[in-house]
Amino acid sequence: MSKGLRVFFIVSSGFLPMMLHWSISSSLGLILGSIALVCILIKEVFEKNISLMTKTLTVYFLISNILYFIFDINKVIINRHLYTYILLGTMSLYSLIIRKPFTMDGAKNGYEKGFDISPLFIEVNMLISTIWCTTYIINSIFRFIGNGPIFIILPNILIIIAIACSITIPNLMPDV
């Protein structure tokens, strides 16, 4: 398996809560996403390395569960794509501003110890995080503008392109 594909699967596991929340349009998606997040959080606590993604999703799912189950605000489920794209866009932009790209948290687990301090590794992850940040922001705009088929198809196309870049770019870089 290529290093890009291996790292992609490691990083993607952090998105499982969102995937469940996105794909199941009921409270079950919120519940399953929350359960998946708790499992990831427990794993990361034991590893003593809680990623920015996990911290961000913890806040999101905590607020979403309170709004939905306590205050009966079902917009949390109806507009879940818009809210999560805005959240992920903001999180990824923040990670770029502080020069600690969110993709590095998971990606470093796919490489030898110490490789994550390499300038090349950091720059590759800056590029990949920039691609994802752009994808999330554009998808936020699509979801805000409309809900028709084109506004579902285009975001998915952008996600496929971002996935392809996330797998391909690390394979183009030499091991340092």
Contacts of 40 (CB under 8 A, 6+ apart): 13, 14, 16, 17, 54
Tokens of 108: 């470093």
Enclosing domain of residue 132: 3-172
pLDDT of residue 59: 97
Tell me the whole-structure pTM to 2 decimals.
0.88
Distance, in Å, from the CA atom of 147 to the CA atom of 98, rounded to the nearest integer, reads 33
Q: What is the pLDDT of residues 12-32, one digit of tens each?
A: 788 899 999 999 989 999 999
Q: What is the pLDDT of residues 139-154, one digit of tens each?
A: 999 999 988 889 889 9
Provide the domain count of the chain.
1
Distance, in Å, from the CA atom of 11 to the CA atom of 141, rounded to the nearest integer, reads 25
CA nearest neighbour of 131 among 106, 168, 79: 168
Poorest-pLDDT segment among 78-87, 98-107, 124-133, 151-160: 98-107
Average pLDDT of the segment spanning 108-113: 70
